[in-house]
Amino acid sequence: MAEKALKPTEEKLKPKLFSVMKTYTKEQFIKDIIAGIIVAIIALPLSIALALASGVGPEQGLYTAIIAGFIVSFLGGSRVQIAGPTAAFATTVAGIVAAEGMDGLAISAIMAGIILIIMGLCRFGTLIKYIPGTITTGFTFGIAVTILLGQIKDFLGLTFKNKPIETIDKVKEIVNCIGTINWQALVVGLVSLAILIFWPKKLEKIPASLIAVIVGSLLVKFSGLEVNTIDSLYDISNSLPHPTVPDVTFARVRALLPNAFTIAVLAAVESLLSCVVADGMIGSKHRSNMELVAQGAANIGSAFFGGIPATGAIARTAANVKNGGRTPVAGMVHSVVVLATLVALMKYAGYIPMPTIAAILFVVAYNMSGWRNIRNTVKTAPKSDIAVLFVTLVLTVVFDLVVAIGVGMVMAALLFMKRMADVTEAHAWVDVDDEDTDPDNILLKKIPQNTRVFEINGPMFFAASDKYKYVLSDKNIDVLCIRMRNVPAIDATGVEALMRIVKRCDRNNVKVVFSHVNEQPMKAMTKAGFVDKIGKENFCDHIDTALLRAEAIEKEIAAKRA
């Protein structure tokens, strides 16, 4: 059910559901129901596992899949996006819950939702592409590492003396308490991990995580193994999600604003990446701004009903597509099935062993790590990109995502500016290559005797301002022709640099002629009053016209001297 290419004017805030229902068929409805049920089966153990990794109760994960999943499917800009709790949020959510409680998490998620809605309404959907891939890869791998380290305790059945929050503190506690390892828990964890690894190779249709949960639960229930289960650590409720209003104060809002921005950026990046992957699988095109609005509404809804932050889940979205889901109806069916399971079967979730949950999260961490991307980046990317990647990765593990993304973006921006400055140059034409095929090569032109031609290549911005200092190195001339055909953009510092050159020319009675000034530099120079100062007649659209203008100026000067 591939869609026709969208025109630019069709990038509007309209949910995909309302568009696809115009041509909806009974056959597709049956496929969507089947896909929704299968995705719900996959989402059940994952939602519980990710909720526990986030430091909240198992039902909170299901609430998120129900509320956020339904809202994103109903309002979203993608045909097949499946939303719910994801690993990207686990460490951030766990930190907020530990420091601020569920109220703090709810306030953060609501603010994040508002930020996402504003981003969508302001058409910021396309701006996500300006976050470098190295930063995305770095913090994704860093999150995977923190999830893996956070589950070692349950996988080995360790007994911690303290309750560490930070990842580094967890590593120290693991080392200090390694002597408390529970071999029975390790056995259950290894059996579960083996199922998760080898089951998909034989029976991919039945989710391996569901089989691991069933086998692990039966193993602990009937073998008498002393292993922690969900029931032994958490109070389980099968009650329906109900509205809760957090206690909001200005002080808390101000304190939690950085966390809200982190959640919003993560939700935007993860969701839109998922949409892009889904587009490639079904030949469709998502509406990025509508998707941001839907993600914002979903996070607000999830927070008000006791859930945790949500985003588009790439693995569940891919499973939806593979099983025939082609419209948002499949995602809505997935939410309804999870709701029915919460009411009917939640009491049995208490039997799930914690080592099995840890094993599921190990596999989630491995799948999200993107280690192949890191390997390819190390092999092929410039050292500056590799540095940004590893700095982001390390800061994600050692500190948090706010610090990692902030420092990563600053590093990437500075390195990009340096790269642009390195390729920017201003040079005079002094020789010509015998094999040069450029018909506009200046040395193939007739240059007036008292005219010098300089060509500027690359963007003219503050980081490259020192490249233009020597443009007027020869003062014994009548005309300086500045060729700007290869200058795509200019900033205020670039305009100032040109202004300084013109002032020096004025002091030395040298006239300035510009050749082939592109659209953006021309707008900037006009706005700065530069064009009026030089005179419109001295802005030529081609080097031939500029040289004719220079020749005319030389004749005028010669006539005055005579």
- The three-state (H, E, C) secondary structure of 216-276, written as one string: HHHHHHHHCCCCCEHHHHCCCCCCCCCCCCCCCCHHHHHHHHHHHHHHHHHHHHHHHHHHH
132: left (phi over 0), alpha (psi -120 to 50) or beta: beta
Q: Based on the number of CB atoms within 10 Å of its own CB, is 291 exposed (0-12), middle (13-18) or buried (19 or more)?
A: buried
Q: Based on the number of CB atoms within 10 Å of its own CB, is 477 exposed (0-12), middle (13-18) or buried (19 or more)?
A: buried
Q: How far is CA 41 from CA 316, 334, 342, in A?
A: 10, 8, 12
Q: Which helix (H) or strand (E) holds 480?
A: strand 479-486
Q: Start-end ranges of CATH 3.30.750.24 in the chain?
A: 426-561
Dmax over CA atoms of the chain, in Å, equals 113
Q: Which amino acid belongs to residue 415? A: L
Residue 172 neighbours by CB under 8 Å, 6+ apart: 164
Q: Which helix (H) or strand (E) holds 428?
A: strand 425-428
- The whole-angstrom separation of Cα 462 and Cα 527 is 18
Torsion 61-63-66-67 (CA) sign: negative
Tokens for 66, please give them: 């129900």
Residue 9 neighbours by CB under 8 Å, 6+ apart: none
Q: Give the residue from 264, 260, 266, 291 showing the smallest Cα distance to 278.
A: 291
**C-beta separation of 158 from 181 below 8 A:** yes
**C-beta separation of 404 from 395 below 8 A:** yes
Name the CATH topology of 426-561. Transcription Regulator spoIIAA (3.30.750)
- The whole-angstrom separation of Cα 76 and Cα 377 is 33
Q: Global pTM?
A: 0.73
pLDDT in tens for each of the 562 residues of the chain? 444 444 444 467 899 999 999 899 999 999 999 999 989 988 988 899 999 989 999 999 999 999 999 999 999 999 999 999 998 888 889 989 999 999 999 999 999 999 999 999 998 887 776 778 788 888 888 888 988 898 899 999 999 888 787 788 889 999 999 999 999 999 999 999 999 999 887 777 778 888 999 999 999 988 888 898 888 888 778 888 889 889 889 999 999 999 999 899 889 988 988 888 788 888 888 999 999 999 999 999 999 999 999 999 888 998 898 888 999 999 999 999 999 999 988 888 888 899 998 998 898 888 878 888 888 888 877 888 889 999 999 998 888 777 888 888 888 888 877 777 776 666 565 444 444 445 555 555 678 888 888 888 888 876 666 666 656 666 678 898 988 988 888 888 888 888 888 888 888 888 999 999 999 999 988 888 888 888 899 999 988 899 999 999 988 888 887 6
